[in-house]
Amino acid sequence: MKKEKQNIADVEFIFREAERFALMPPPNLIRHLRENRVDTFAVLNRPAGGILFCGRAAYNRFYEIANRTIKHGSMEAKKFGRRDYVRALRATFIELFIEGGKKINKSSVLKLVNRAKLLSSEGLIHVIHHIPCVLFYEKEPATFTAGPVTFRRTDKFLADYNHAVEAYHESNLKAFANALHQRRPDLSEGEILLKATCFADTHIGMIRDYYREYDWVASVTIALCHPALSKSRAECVVDAALNVLCLFVQSYTERYCRANAPDAPFETCELVSIKNKFAML
């Protein structure tokens, strides 16, 4: 069966299953879910709220459509993960066939596939990752490059990016204060500012402490792709740069590692730069 026909068959099956679950009387649905736990979390989210059960068999068909559409090594696979595309497929299915009432045919299924690609691409970002590392003991040079990776001594990194760290601190303070205004209208402006400042100071203090546990910071730019892929690619690039350094700087090479690698001693609190502003992925 050709890919297009398989996709149509899968969409038809998903629709039939969603319709079958929707028509179940509540007592029957509850009994079914108790007897078939695998279907409990196989749901589609409606944009206005609420869920639509479709069953695990239908839920898995979204992955089959994704496997046929996003081929390994393709341009799409380099930009976003299969899981992101499947999530977009589910949202688009609801939009087109449940909310929109479109008939299932070659044209509408093609629209489903392409619309999901577009949705998956909307979350792509251009990121500079700043990953703490352990390297040699020498403090000079304070900055050097290895391929696409720039290594800085941690004290130099924190000094060079102090303005960005302070801006990130300020944005967290404002965001937490705004949230407190909504959740705790009984608090005075002074109390809100005090609590928000305490939160922002604690958060930025944990980040600074995390970086100071390492002597170096590796910065690497990753082109447009999904955040999860961006992080894993950045880690791969830094690992490769560390391996190259082991060949040319052969003192204490057993120390060379990046944060968040297997056996690294500290949990991650890593910063990234997005549009010249710090954030955390």
Q: From first to last of its 281 residues, what are the pLDDT tens digits of the chain?
A: 688 899 999 999 999 999 999 898 888 888 998 898 888 888 888 877 778 899 999 999 999 998 888 876 656 665 666 777 888 899 999 999 998 899 999 999 999 988 888 877 666 666 788 889 888 777 788 888 888 889 999 999 989 888 888 888 888 888 888 888 877 888 888 888 888 888 888 888 888 888 888 888 999 888 766 666 778 888 888 888 888 877 776 665 556 676 664 444 444 456 666 665 665 54
3-class DSSP assignment, residue 36: coil
pLDDT of residue 93: 93
List of residues 6+ apart from 18 with CB closer than 8 A = 44, 52, 53, 54, 58, 98
pLDDT at 125: 64
Res 57: pLDDT:
94
pLDDT of residue 176: 83
Rounded to 5°, the CA angle 18-110-94 comes to 30
What is the structure's pLDDT at 134? 82
In single-letter form, the type of residue at position 228 comes to A
Q: What is the reported pTM?
A: 0.54
Q: Which of 116, 46, 55 is nearest to 83 (CA)?
A: 116
DSSP letter assigned to residue 98: I
- Burial (CB < 10 A; 0-12, 13-18, 19+), residue 261, is middle
Burial (CB count within 10 angstroms: exposed 0-12, middle 13-18, buried 19+), residue 91: middle
Handedness of CA 19, 24, 30, 36 (dihedral sign): negative
- The answer to whether residues 106 and 253 touch, using CB atoms and an 8 Å cutoff, is no
